[in-house]
Amino acid sequence: MGLKIYLNGKLIDKKDARISIFDHGLLYGDGVFEGIRSYNRLVFKLNEHIDRLYESAHTIMLTIPISKIEMIDAIVRTLKANNLNDAYIRAVVTRGEGDLGLDPRRCHSPTIFIITDEIKLYPKELYENGLEIITVPTQRNSPEAVSPRVKSLNYLNNILAKIEAINSGVEEAVMLNAQGYVAECTGDNIFLIKGGRLRTPPPYAGILKGITRDCVIGLAKDNKIPVAEEMITRHDLFNADESFLTGTAAEIIPVIKIDGRVIGNGKPGKITLQLRKGFSNITKKDGIRY
């Protein structure tokens, strides 16, 4: 059976899933999305992801034509149609078909599509041995321009930073904000541990407030690990005892080298591994069953 895609209320074959070349999501990146995970037929933090999707849409004045309950039902229907036990879910809402101008008033009907498929963001050995990353010249978008809190379809800023990482022979890049402080990576939030204390940039540093990020912060507090959301410099990263990235697709992946500087002892740290284990346990019980 081929992959089924949800498109504007219907489940259709992947090969038949098409949108107009005049869709402003394609022409201008005018739209929002969410990446969601399911584990053993349990959709992890689905309500939180849907809330963020609708908040992103509200900020860009895009009215999603179905309710949150209907969106959740559409995601569950798509998962069931594809009979996936473990899946990556991409829910997308675009401004819809318009003309060649920027004016969003020309778009009268938003496009909604949902893809459920498998994903493998990083090789298994990087989760076991740790990831090497670099900082890059491309800055994170200013919150006063395209707010990083909006999970929009315009990811060119992140893609340019990703290209810089690839050109340097690594998988991921740290992006700084306009003030030179650490913001986040191209697709993940970043954490460091120093003296048993967990630190991560605050939302006002210009980051996406990640669902997995918030989950890890909660896990740390439950395990009596001190947590601080505060501004971080490259110097702080270089001298961390441990570091790791978090994201829906990435989950929790250790970082063992940044800009050529070895982090800690060059191996995934004790607290990182503790949080990874705790996160894995949560995914088995926190979500909506399908």
pLDDT tens for the chain, residues 1 to 290? 699 999 999 999 999 999 999 999 999 999 999 999 999 999 999 999 999 999 999 999 999 999 999 999 999 999 999 999 999 999 999 999 999 999 999 999 999 999 999 988 899 999 999 999 999 999 999 988 889 999 999 999 999 999 999 999 999 999 999 999 999 999 999 999 999 999 999 999 999 999 999 999 999 999 999 999 999 999 999 999 999 999 999 999 999 999 999 999 999 999 999 999 999 999 988 889 99
Q: At what angle do helices 270-283 and 211-222 cross, to 10 degrees?
A: 110
> Order of strands, edge to edge, in the sheet holding 10-13?
10-13, 4-7, 111-117, 87-94, 31-39, 42-44, 287-289
Indicate if 4 belongs to the active site. no
Helix (H) or strand (E) holding 189: strand 189-194
DSSP three-state, residue 183: strand
Would you state the pLDDT for residue 120?
84
Q: Check if the beta carbon of residue 146 is closer than 8 Å to that of residue 111.
A: no
Would you state the pLDDT for residue 99?
97
Residue from 140, 112, 105 nearest 32 by CA: 112
Q: What gap in Å lies between CA 93 and CA 30, rounded to an integer?
A: 9
CATH, range 4-117:
3.30.470.10
Q: Check if the beta carbon of residue 5 is closer than 8 Å to that of residue 12.
A: yes
Q: What gap in Å lies between CA 181 and CA 139, rounded to an integer?
A: 10
* Dihedral-angle region of residue 83 (phi above 0 means left; psi in -120 to 50 means alpha; beta otherwise): left
Would you state the pLDDT for residue 157?
95
Q: Check if the beta carbon of residue 42 is closer than 8 Å to that of residue 36.
A: no
DSSP three-state, residue 77: helix
Mean pLDDT of all residues belonging to the chain = 96
Q: At what angle do helices 68-82 and 46-59 cross, to 10 degrees?
A: 130
Would you state the pLDDT for residue 285?
86
Q: What gap in Å lies between CA 79 and CA 4, rounded to an integer?
A: 9
- Here the tokens at position 206 are 């210009």
Strand partners, 191: 244
Would you state the pLDDT for residue 286?
83
DSSP 149: T
* Residue boundaries of the structural domains of the chain: 4-117, 124-283
Would you state the pLDDT for residue 193?
98
Q: Which of 151, 162, 209, 270 is catalytic?
A: 151
Q: Do 4-117 and 124-283 agree at the fold level?
A: no
Residue at token pair 């005049």: 22
CATH, range 124-283:
3.20.10.10
Would you state the pLDDT for residue 184?
98
Contacts with 86 (C-beta within 8 Å, 6 or more apart), sequence order: 37, 38, 39, 40, 118
Q: Check if the beta carbon of residue 152 is closer than 8 Å to that of residue 29.
A: yes
Q: Check if the beta carbon of residue 21 is closer than 8 Å to that of residue 141.
A: no
